[in-house]
Amino acid sequence: MKVLISLVFLALLVPLNSLGQVSTPNLGDKIYWDARTEPDVDEYHMYRGTVPCTDATPTPLTCPGFIQVAVIPQAVDPMDWIEPGPVVFVQDYYYRLLSHNTSQLVSAFSNELNVRWFNPNAPGIPGGLRGTEQGANMFLDWDEPDPDEHIVAYNIWKSMDENKQGARIGTVSETRRYRDNNPGRNGPRYYRVTAVNDSDMESDPAGPVMYVGK
């Protein structure tokens, strides 16, 4: 799978443009960009941060959250690089490039590439997660996994915040169904489900599905 940084180089000391991305790359997938065509360009410096840079004219000095993680020699088009890690899976990372030439001139930062790396050895996300609300009860169901995934259990997660996974409230292994109770029909509540394989590796979460309540 390609993670694309499609860079249009205008001239050194000019920002780079036109980034694209793949939404679900696995760690080990390559990041690509267009090589510069000037004959004196000799290398690229890759920078990475965990928060986006909002400066209008971004540089390593104005994007203090970015650190240099690689120097990549000029090569044939398209250029590519593999993130060696370590990384926190499914955390947001932000990448920018600088190009350098033999006269020690440096471009401005490229636009940002936002990537959430997935663990290539983790099982797939449970499919078809759905919820049925009945009074204070929330019934969760999901689809049967691919046998090649070797799923042995599912973890159920619940949160009051749509953007957070929350706390694990249960685990099932013999069924793909779970019932939870919300006393007083207090809502909203958000549910997610993860799969665990026989190597004790956990998938990214399916969901959320919402319990509305009162």
User: Mean pLDDT throughout 173-200?
Assistant: 95
Please tell me the predicted confidence (pLDDT) of residue 107: 86
What's the pLDDT score for residue 21?
Answer: 44
pLDDT above 70: residue 18: no
pLDDT for position 24: 62
Residue 116 pLDDT grade (very low, low, confident, very high; cuts 50, 70, 90): confident
- pLDDT tens, position by position, 76-111: 988 889 999 999 887 899 999 999 999 989 888 888
* 108-112, 122-126, 147-151, range with the lowest pLDDT: 108-112
Binned at pLDDT 50, 70 and 90, residue 26 comes out as confident
* Average pLDDT estimate for 137-147: 94
- If you compute the radius of gyration of the chain from its CA atoms, what whole number of angstroms results? 22
* Whole-number Å distance between alpha carbons of 25 and 23: 6
SS3 (DSSP) at 159: strand
Evaluate if residue 3 carries a pLDDT over 70: no
Is CATH 2.60.40.10 what the domain over 2-116 is classified as, yes or no? yes
Lowest mean pLDDT among 93-97, 119-123, 172-176: 119-123
Average pLDDT of the segment spanning 19-27: 60
What are the residue boundaries of the structural domains of the chain, listed by start? 2-116, 130-211
Give 130-211's CATH code, choosing from 3.40.605.10, 2.60.40.10, 3.40.50.1820, 3.30.70.20: 2.60.40.10
Burial class from Cβ neighbours inside 10 Å (0-12, 13-18, 19+) for residue 122 reads: buried
pLDDT above 60 for 178: yes
pLDDT at 155: 97
- 206 contacts 125 by C-beta, under 8 angstroms: yes
Structure tokens at 195: 């799969």
Q: Which residue has the higher pLDDT, 163 or 141?
A: 141
Identify the band that residue 29 occupies on the pLDDT scale cut at 50, 70 and 90.
confident
Note whether 2-116 and 130-211 share their fold: yes
According to DSSP, the β-strands at 2-4 and 30-33 are: parallel
Mean pLDDT of 169-196: 96
CA pair distance 170, 105, nearest whole angstrom: 57
Q: How many CB atoms lie within 10 A of CB 177?
A: 11
